[in-house]
Amino acid sequence: MLAEQTGVILKVVPINDRGEILFDEFRNLLGPKTRLVSVAHVSNALGTVLPVEQIVATAKLQGIPVLLDGAQGIPHQHVDVMAIDCDFYAFSGHKMCGPTGMVVLYGREELLEKMPPYQGGGDIAPPCGVEPGSKFFRPQMKLSLPTWSTTPILFHGRCSRNKRA
């Protein structure tokens, strides 16, 4: 969908019969035009845990940011995004028995600062005009448009802490 809209070329990393990525093939897919590596932390179809630390380290050698889909990883294991050293890590709350519609995105602040808001409106910007170069609030506000029901989110956060204890 997005690839069709933007002309981006999507490349899929081949896997072996055990569902493990063929790492040499992955490495060969990276090149000077690669703008982002995005992989699942854990495959939802096969249950394969991908070697995300190795994937991130390989991409970073070429200056390529990495987005990890943590929907299957976060509910089943302790995840330390700082140790993994990924640039983005995303997951949905309902995979951890949280509220549906809640999405969590970890992102490196310096990368989020560079990104424009994906949509306008709400409280993403201080009072300003519509001229090019308008200033926006901190990164987390650029990505947060609707007013969420905070009670289920706070409850989910509390339950997540208890799970780790």
Residue 160 pLDDT: 66
Find the length of the chain: 165
The strand pairing partners of 66, in sequence order, are 37
pLDDT string in tens for the chain (165-residue length): 778 898 889 999 999 999 999 999 999 999 999 999 999 999 988 989 999 999 999 999 999 999 999 988 888 888 999 999 999 999 886 666 666 767 788 899 899 888 877 666 555 555 555 556 655 556 656 666 556 666 666 666 666 665 554
Residue 54 pLDDT: 97
Residue 165 pLDDT: 46
Exposed / middle / buried, residue 13 (Cβ in 10 Å: 0-12, 13-18, 19+): middle
Question: What's the pTM value of the predicted model, to 2 decimals?
Answer: 0.76
CATH of domain 2-102+148-164: 3.40.640.10
* Residue ranges per structural domain of the chain: 2-102+148-164
